[in-house]
Amino acid sequence: MKAPHSTVPFAMPMFRAFVPRRLQPWIYVCIAVTFQLSGGLYLGTLSQMMGETALMREDLLMCLYANLAGMAIYFPLLFRMKFRFTNKTLLCAAATGVLACNLLTPRVHSLPLLWTVCFVSGICKIQGTFECMSNIQLWMTPKRDFTVFFPVLHIIILGSMQVSDWLSIRLMYHYHWTYMHFFIAGLMMLDLLVLTLCTRHFRIVKKFPLYGIDWLGALLWVLLLLEVAFLFNYGEYYDWWNSPALRRLGVAILFTLGLCLWRMYTIRHPFFEPRMWTYRRLVPILLLITCVEAFLATEHVLEEVFYEEVMHYGTTTVARLDGWSLLGVWAGCLFAYWWMHVRRLPYLRLITAGILMLGVYLASMYFTLSPDMPFSRFALPVACRGFAYAVLSITFMTCLEEIMTFQHFFQALSVFNMLHMVVGGVMGAALYSHGLSYYVADNLSRYGVHLDSVAFPRAPFDLGAYMESFISRIMAISVKQIYGWVLYACLLLLLLFLLYDAPIRRSLKQMPRRQALRREIARAVRLPRRVP
């Protein structure tokens, strides 16, 4: 279904008359940035949180995965909420939710409750971002061209991620890790003040009730996602299948997956419809984004190990690399815009370019990592990583929108983000952690046999300093070995793309109008007539 291009001038009727029209969309851009700066927990503060709260790294990372799971599972509900509530109601509720979650997080000590708070924070975060960006889409691209919308959207999303990490580290260094939560709470209070004074309740389409939503199905898919995240996150800690707890969890995952599939094929309106899985090229896109996220998980395992254990950098020193990552991200977004919108080149070749830059990052780290490496040498690999992440994220999402009808696009987008934000990253991190523990032990046994009385000089020397240097070099060798294996996998994927060049259609279909969407949903759920 195609909608004709809109000839009506862009307007935001939810704003009050005294707000200048030129300022209105920029207010929503700023509000979207504040939502993207928020989170359940902040990666930059993990070290101080572990020391103060006595929580393990795995416990805090599970909070992050719960936050991302809340964002991923909520995509199919975004338009239903938009048709039921006004824009002001949704934005105020989202800001209030993020405000409450950031105030609760430092005071909650029960892990299940903390995971729940982070999950709710993720739902509020995506709801607020969607409401802002969907209302200014016609301002960014009057023809609803997603080759414009997605690059601009990722400039805000990915840029805010880097700024949030840098900001949390700076606040932790100068004050305390809780100050990041208080800062976000202050931003949400400012958002609520602006929304209260500058906006009013306004409906673009007629109110549509929350009818035909499979809430139990959504809960089952969330449970499955969190079980998978728990398995890979705590796998190394519990020694994988040697642990009875993880063996029971594996059985629970299979049982939950069976329930999800049974419900999907037996009820009238499942949360994910079976037809959604039948679109051509959907499964390859999902597999590709999982592999790419697994490759990019080296950032949170191998890079952090090298910075902390080999180079002994502090968090503030590592935070200086966020600027280079931000430059790479913005360059990747602009490059994707130029490729898809200006030049109208094939999307598959853009994916190939993104994987090539990912290979450049992996090769740079493999060939240059050394305990004697200067800090400035990390700038290029980090920028290449940000460039590849931006290009691949934009291209995969654009391809997904192209191959799906609007009826199933947000369902597929939910599955896409489950793999993109949670499963791919946690699987890659688990694989690298396991490989690192193996290679460190193996290299210690290989090189440790040479540490005998013959190898040491007869004159007295500092044995402690020598052993510290020895362990650092063992860690560096182990990290380089894993980078080498990941580089092999990335080059294999790049070779497959070079051998198979069948690009997806270059021109994007138009997004239907909201009135047409409401009629389509009404026909799908078949609302019963009211009896007078």
Q: Read off the pLDDT of residues 227-256 as tens digits, 9 standing for 90 and up.
A: 999 999 999 999 899 999 999 999 999 999
* Shared domain check, 80 and 44: yes
**CA geometry: angle at 121 spanning 120 and 125, to 5°?**
120
Residue 503 has pLDDT above 70, yes or no: no
Over residues 375-386, the pLDDT tens digits come to: 888 999 999 999
Residue 42 has pLDDT above 60, yes or no: yes
CA distance to 48, 51, 101, 372, per residue, from 58 (Å)? 14, 13, 20, 30
* Shared domain check, 167 and 191: yes
d(CA 49, CA 195): 33
pLDDT value of residue 290: 92
pLDDT value of residue 2: 42
d(CA 6, CA 477): 59
pLDDT value of residue 532: 45
- Residue 528 domain-assigned (yes or no): no
* Shared domain check, 362 and 246: no
Residue 340 has pLDDT above 70, yes or no: yes
> In 3D, which of 447, 442, 436 has the Cα closest to residue 469?
447
Give the mean pLDDT of the chain.
86
Residue 501 has pLDDT above 60, yes or no: no
Over residues 48-80, the pLDDT tens digits come to: 888 788 888 889 999 999 999 999 999 999 988
> In 3D, which of 31, 72, 528, 504 has the Cα closest to residue 281?
504
- Residue with more model confidence, 83 or 182: 182
Confidence of residue 526 (pLDDT cuts 50, 70, 90): low
Domain end: 248, 270, 292, which one? 270
Mean pLDDT of 137-149: 88
Residue 412 has pLDDT above 70, yes or no: yes
* Shared domain check, 179 and 221: no
Domain end: 195, 210, 225, which one? 210
Q: What is the CATH number of the domain that holds 104?
A: 1.20.1250.20
- Residue 266 domain-assigned (yes or no): yes
* Shared domain check, 94 and 173: yes
pLDDT value of residue 220: 94
Residue type, 214: D
Percent over 70 (pLDDT), the chain: 89
Query: How many domains does the structure of the chain reveal?
Result: 3
Evaluate if pTM is beyond 0.85: yes
- Residue 452 domain-assigned (yes or no): no
Residue 512 has pLDDT above 70, yes or no: no
- Residue 532 domain-assigned (yes or no): no
Q: Is the dihedral of CA 42, 45, 49, 52 positive or negative?
A: negative
* Shared domain check, 218 and 205: no
pLDDT value of residue 461: 56
* Shared domain check, 202 and 70: yes
pLDDT value of residue 6: 46
pLDDT value of residue 430: 93
pLDDT value of residue 469: 74
Percent over 90 (pLDDT), the chain: 50
Residue with tokens 């929580």: 55
Alpha-helical segments (H) within 44-145: 46-53, 57-73, 78-84, 87-104, 111-135, 137-140
- Residue with more model confidence, 204 or 439: 439
* Shared domain check, 256 and 117: no
Domain end: 166, 195, 210, which one? 210
Mean pLDDT of 485-514: 72
> In 3D, which of 76, 148, 74, 69 has the Cα closest to residue 409?
76
d(CA 99, CA 461): 57
* Shared domain check, 428 and 392: yes
Give the end-to-end CA distance of the chain in Å, rounded to a whole number.
35
* Shared domain check, 162 and 234: no
d(CA 82, CA 129): 12
Residue 110 has pLDDT above 60, yes or no: yes
**CA geometry: angle at 516 spanning 205 and 525, to 5°?**
90
pLDDT value of residue 445: 83
Residue 388 has pLDDT above 70, yes or no: yes
Range of the domain at 237: 214-270
Over residues 306-335, the pLDDT tens digits come to: 998 888 888 888 888 889 999 999 999 999
* Shared domain check, 334 and 289: yes
d(CA 171, CA 392): 31
- Residue 299 domain-assigned (yes or no): yes
* Shared domain check, 75 and 163: yes
Lowest mean pLDDT among 39-53, 212-226, 276-290, 318-332: 39-53
- Residue 9 domain-assigned (yes or no): no
